Structure 1
Amino acid sequence: MSSLPAGWYKDPADPETQRYWDGEGWLGKAIPADAVPPDGPPPVQDEPPPAPASPAPAPPTPLTPPPPGWGPQPGAGPQPGAGQQPGSGPQPGWGPQPGWGPQPPPPPGWQPPPGWQPPPGWEQMPPGMRAGMYPVQARPHGYALAGLGPRLVARLLDILAVLLLNVVVNGYFFYEFAKEFVPMYRASLNEMANGGSAFDVQGSGRMDSLLWAMLIVATLLWLLYEAPSIGSTGQTLGKRIMRIKVMAVEHTEPLGFGRAFGRWARLGLWTPAWGCAGIGFVLQLIDCISPVFDQQLRQAFHDKTARTVVIALPPDDRQPVDATTRSGGNGSHTEGS
């Protein structure tokens, strides 16, 4: 729990609400789980005055012993037949079940003995849970994390948009590259038909120069497409269509171009390395699937570099909720369990 950054998360004690986690404990009062919380922690409320101390109870009155010679009146004994009714006692063989009754908690630091196995049907603790603690779904700034499916679709839409830009800008270089590549490809087929190897046919130096030029232009187009929009609004065209957004971990302000460039660079600067036996493409693919292995914030490697998260926008434009207007929950700072 202590590894979670400060922000609004679902309350483990009441999943229908959310509270502010400051890195060490819960802060402020709870608000509805589907409401957009205020930016930052809730305002600190004044503690109520202590309740007046209740008066001490009066000491018990000592019992006075009966006077000498006192005793029960004659005939005041139990009536005949007023004893225990037949069949009102415990049934034959009745007794407490083995292990029945409240068990005392184990002492601090207790560990099960070596070789101990849980009994059949005993439920294992789910991943991400510690003893005495519920799993908490991260909600940075009160927003739900974007799912992997919408993020994948948004990335594919962005790739399509950058590809269309490359058709326009890189069209000339691609045409010149094709003029050099097609003769080399045909020569390779003829060499293989004659029993040789396709690697015996080498491309021209101009073809290599055109390939590097196309990769560099494609990298610049990707940079100009993504970094400014992420820095200003947190959304590219694909993310806007899928209603997801890139936000900083510590605040909701725009990232700015510098931070957005650092986020893009971790992924986009590998594009020229496509010309090195596709190494750049492999590294970019690993980066794109890395959120699968981050169960807490679903951060890709480029998100971890820029300290960003991808959140899902609510279906409507809900306004932030004042955390001081909702009753319920403990307003004082409590330690996280």
Structure 2
Amino acid sequence: MSFQAGWYDDPENQSQQRYWDGNAWTDRRRPKYGQPAPERPQDGQSVQHGQVFGGAGQQAQQPFGQPQQPYGQPQQGQQQHGQQYGQGQGFQGGYQPYPQQAAVGYGAPGQNPNRVVTPDGQPLSGWWRRVFAYIIDSILSGLIALVFSGYFVWKFLQWAMDFYRPLFEEAARGGNPVAPTTLPAEAYKWIIPASLISLAVQFAYQYFFLTKAGATPGKMLLSIAVRQRGSRGYLPPAVAAKRVGFYLGVNVVSAIPLLGQLVFIIILLDWFWPLWDDKKQALHDKWPGTQVVRT
């Protein structure tokens, strides 16, 4: 999403405006509200030739008998004797007390001072867009992972049916079977390969799209993308690896007994952190220095 070049409210200082060149903020700044127009002279005071009162948009006084310049033609600088005076515009060099604003609705930076943006003015994504994008990506990456891990998943399901069948049969006869609290070691010869394949697919899925397109399919559907806070463009490989690795790493650790409960709290904090963070970053955005933006 590109913004039109022009003057917008400075995201770093709401009391002034800053020039957006169409790609990034420049160092050109000006006051948000102009200085008052010069006072009119009192009766009896002399008026210099070409002096304008009332700010921009007020026509310069035209000497009697001088021909008028065609409407809309820009005025030149200091007028010499015999030159034409323009209409419809203020005298060139006169200070405009109220700078022109960009039209509302174009998505230009600064049109909503309450909206959180990146340092160069790109709006950040809301929390719900990130959640729905995550759900979509989880479904897509899960289906891809199932293609590669399907054999191990199927073998685990067969083992589970054989393992729990006696318990079901005893319960059907009116007994009171006691289910085991832990799985036998035999189960993990199917669970571990399936889990590792799933993690590898999720990492490759996120890493590929973030480095090649700047957004996963789920984020593309929700019109959001991931970028570095200080620069535009797709994520460098090292940054993408940090971002994806942090998130997948805490999920792996959550499966470890005892540590899992503590890590589960970190996972919850990671999910909800953008709601109160001033930069709208999750915990897995903090380490690599990334932000999720609107496109």
TM-score by length of 2: 0.59
One-letter identity of the residue aligned with 2:179: A
Deviation at 1:276, TM superposition (A): 3.7
When the two chains are superposed, the root-mean-square deviation of aligned CA atoms in Å is: 3.0
Give the match for residue 197 of structure 1.
Answer: 178
Deviation at 1:44, TM superposition (A): 5.5
The reply on whether 1:289 has 2:272 as its aligned counterpart is yes
Match of 1:254 among 234, 254, 262: 234
Superposed CA deviations along residues 281-328 of structure 1, whole A, max 9, x for unmatched, are: 66434422221231x111100011111111111xxxxxxxxxxxxxxx
The 1:29/1:167 distance shift into structure 2, 3 A limit, reads: same
Task: Could you list the structure 1 runs, at least 4 aligned residues long, displaced by more than 6 angstroms after superposition.
Answer: 25-28
Output the CA distance in 2 between the equivalents of 1:144 and 1:258.
24
Output the CA distance in 2 between the equivalents of 1:44 and 1:17.
11
One-letter identity of the residue aligned with 1:38: N
The reply on whether 1:221 has 2:209 as its aligned counterpart is no
Match of 1:170 among 149, 165, 172: 149
Superposed CA deviations along residues 14-68 of structure 1, whole A, max 9, x for unmatched, are: xx933263xxx6898434xxx78533x51469xxxxxxxxxxxxxxxxxxxxxxx
Asked if the contact 1:184/1:203 (under 8 Å) is kept, the reply is: no
TM-score by length of 1: 0.52
Asked if the contact 1:28/1:43 (under 8 Å) is kept, the reply is: no
Output the CA distance in 1 between the equivalents of 2:254 and 2:115.
38
Match of 1:38 among 11, 14, 23: 23
Asked if the contact 1:228/1:257 (under 8 Å) is kept, the reply is: no
Output the CA distance in 2 between the equivalents of 1:17 and 1:158.
36
The structure, 1 or 2, with the larger RCO (C-alpha pairs under 8 Å, 6+ apart) is 1
- What are the ranges of 5 or more consecutive residues in structure 1 without an aligned counterpart? 1-15, 46-134, 314-337
One-letter identity of the residue aligned with 2:117: R
The reply on whether 1:307 has 2:289 as its aligned counterpart is yes
Give the match for residue 233 of structure 1.
Answer: 213
Give the match for residue 146 of structure 1.
Answer: 125
Q: What percent of counterpart residues are identical?
A: 20
Asked if the contact 1:211/1:275 (under 8 Å) is kept, the reply is: no
Asked if the contact 2:274/2:280 (under 8 Å) is kept, the reply is: yes
Output the CA distance in 1 between the equivalents of 2:230 and 2:169.
61
| SS, match of residue 18 in structure 1 | strand
Q: How many matched pairs?
A: 200
Output the CA distance in 2 between the equivalents of 1:183 and 1:281.
32
Output the CA distance in 1 between the equivalents of 2:122 and 2:239.
21
Output the CA distance in 2 between the equivalents of 1:162 and 1:19.
40
Give the match for residue 10 of structure 2.
Answer: 19
* Greater alpha carbon shift after TM alignment, 271-280 vs 173-182: 271-280
- What are the ranges of 5 or more consecutive residues in structure 2 without an aligned counterpart? 1-6, 30-112
Asked if the contact 1:145/1:310 (under 8 Å) is kept, the reply is: yes
